[in-house]
């Protein structure tokens, strides 16, 4: 089974939810699903492929026709995995102490641990930089190559983000060695 976050993303689509409902009722072909939902067969196939990746449906081929059915066991597993308080809390585990606005900024710009875009506004960029600096351990000295490698895990533009971390006084550089500084206290 995929990660709970991935499954939620797959299910966060109205067409896919309707498809799940239809194939939960009984096995159906791509053509039948397309007719019921009034969309093209390629669209249905695309959504069914996403549901198959999340292991939520199974396919049975009969000649050139593909039939789909809900995988009830997987749905039950997802239900148990997603609806525990611990699992819900873990979805925000890497956002320690962030207020609602900061969480919103992080949800907007960070997807699966990757920065999708460097924010244009200073305030939003600061939230992202504070998130990024937590990828560095306090008290550890890093070479520029190590800093770049850590940043590249989250965004390809390591030069800009490295400079921003220094300019924001979250990281210090001296003689090619970098280290994390204590975060400024909230005012």
User: Domain containing 136: what range?
Assistant: 100-180
Task: Establish if 185 belongs to a structural domain.
Answer: no
76 with 110, same domain? Answer: no
Q: Are strands 171-174 and 177-180 parallel, antiparallel or unpaired?
A: antiparallel
Q: How far is CA 51 from CA 3, 12, 58, 68, 70, in A?
A: 13, 11, 9, 10, 9
Residue 64 sits in a domain whose CATH number is 1.10.10.10
Pick the closest to residue 48 from 17, 94, 78 (CA basis).
Answer: 17
Please determine, for residue 183, whether its predicted confidence score (pLDDT) is greater than 80: no
Q: What is the pLDDT of residue 98?
A: 47
Question: Do 51 and 112 have their domain in common?
Answer: no
What's the pLDDT at 85? 61
CA distance 145 to 102: 29
Q: Which tokens is 67 given?
A: 């039939």
* Confidence band for 175, pLDDT divided at 50, 70 and 90: very high
pLDDT of residue 171: 94
Q: Is position 86 within any domain?
A: no
Neighbours of 170 (CB within 10 A): 20
State the average pLDDT over residues 166-174. Answer: 94
- The answer to the question of residue 88 being in a domain is no
Number of Cβ within 10 Å of residue 89's Cβ equals 9
Per the structure, the count of domains in the chain is 2
DSSP β-bridge partners for residue 143: 177
Report the pLDDT averaged over residues 159-178: 94
């Amino acid at each position: 089974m995929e990660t709970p976050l991935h499954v939620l993303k797959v299910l966060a689509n109205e067409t896919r939810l309707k498809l799940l409902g239809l194939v939960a009722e009984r096995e159906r072909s791509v053509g039948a699903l397309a007719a019921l939902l009034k969309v093209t067969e390629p669209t249905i196939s695309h959504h069914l492929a996403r549901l198959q990746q999340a292991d939520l449906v199974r396919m049975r081929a009969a000649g050139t026709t593909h039939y789909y059915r809900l995988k009830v066991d997987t749905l039950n597993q997802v239900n148990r995995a997603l609806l525990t308080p611990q699992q819900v809390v873990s979805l925000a585990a890497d956002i320690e102490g962030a207020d609602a606005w900061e969480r919103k900024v992080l949800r907007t710009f960070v997807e699966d641990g990757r920065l999708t875009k460097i924010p244009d506004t200073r305030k939003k960029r600061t939230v992202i930089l504070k998130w990024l600096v937590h990828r560095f351990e306090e008290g550890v000295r890093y070479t520029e190559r190590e800093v770049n490698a850590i940043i590249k895990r989250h965004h390809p533009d390591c030069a800009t983000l490295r400079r921003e971390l220094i300019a924001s006084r979250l990281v210090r550089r001296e003689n090619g060695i970098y280290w994390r500084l204590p975060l400024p206290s909230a005012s």
